[in-house]
Amino acid sequence: MKDSSSTSNYIKGKKYTIISVTSLIILWQLLAMWINSPILVPLPRETAVVFYNIVSSPFFFETVFTTFMRMAIGFAITFSSAVVLGMLAGFISPIYYLLKPIVTLFKAVPTMGIILLAIIWLDSNVAPILVSFMILFPLLFQNVAHGIQNIDPKLIEMASVYKISRINKIKNIYLPSIQSHLAAGISTAIGLNVRIVIAAEVLSQPNVSIGTAFQIARANLNTAGVFAWSIIAIMLVGLFELIVRLLRKSTKALD
């Protein structure tokens, strides 16, 4: 019963997604026809042709893979350091108060300022990774630290009465408790990561990257190309979310 109702909800959800995407494409088509200037808004059909050309070009895989790896490395470094430091900060309040000003500083500096500083300090291939870290760290760190701080003290009291080992406490109480906080943070961070890594690439111009491809398309007034690369970026967000979902499933299976 439960299964059939969740399947019907899933199908209903998909149906509305298709309606939403189709409406968006129709709106885009109407807007492009009304403006009638491919440099401002290209037609969906023109964008599809450019998209096909980009995807079938010999450099496509290398370009996407290189940017994807920058995003993945940036995300992995940020995620692992945010979980470790966030948990420490959640357990030990002096660490939280020591890290709080740094996190506030990361949050306060404008994204463009961080990108420019990263370009000054680092090689253009590595700069986007630092940008990713500086933007995503505060978000994930605070999710983890607040998750730990908000764990029901009664559960911790129960665990101490039953002398549950520290490792088992972390595995069975702390990690599952912060999971919901972290899940919300991860979902926001994935979209943000794709956007800021590409933004950093647009400015730092590494030899091979989606950002550089964006910049070349813009310089050639190839708006259809900018649209096509945007669609590729959206697909990257989807790919990231899929990978994270699979990783979560596999860790659950390991339990």
Partner 1 sequence: MMVKLQDICKSFGEIDILHRISLDIDKEEIVCILGPSGCGKSTLLNTIAGLINPDQGDIQTNIEKIGYVFQEDRLLSWKTVYENIRLVDHSKSAEVLNKLIEEIGLKGFENYFPNELSGGMRQRCSVARAFNYQAELLLMDEPFKSLDYFLRIKMLKQLINVWENEKSSICFVTHEIDEALLLGDRVIVLSNRPAEIVGSFKIETRQKDRKLNSETLVEIRSQIIDLLFESGNSI
Binding site for partner 1 (CB under 8 A): 154-155, 157-158, 160-164, 168, 172-173, 176, 179
Angle between helices 175-204 and 111-121 in degrees, nearest 10? 70
Instruction: Give the shortest CB-243-to-partner 1 separation in angstroms.
Output: 23
Which of 78, 234, 83, 242 has its CA nearest to residue 148?
83
Residue 43 has a CB neighbour count (10 Å cut-off) of 17
Instruction: Give the shortest CB-255-to-partner 1 separation in angstroms.
Output: 9
Query: Closer to partner 1 at the Cβ: 164 or 208?
Result: 164
Which of 193, 190, 183 has its CA nearest to residue 248?
183
First-to-final CA distance of the chain: 26
Query: Closer to partner 1 at the Cβ: 57 or 160?
Result: 160
Query: Closer to partner 1 at the Cβ: 22 or 180?
Result: 180
Instruction: Give the shortest CB-246-to-partner 1 separation in angstroms.
Output: 20
Instruction: Give the shortest CB-245-to-partner 1 separation in angstroms.
Output: 18
Query: Closer to partner 1 at the Cβ: 95 or 175?
Result: 175
Instruction: Give the shortest CB-163-to-partner 1 separation in angstroms.
Output: 8
Query: Closer to partner 1 at the Cβ: 95 or 155?
Result: 155
- Helix then strand then coil, in percent of the chain rounded to 5, is 85, 0, 15
- Vertex 192 angle, CA 26 and 226, to 5°: 45
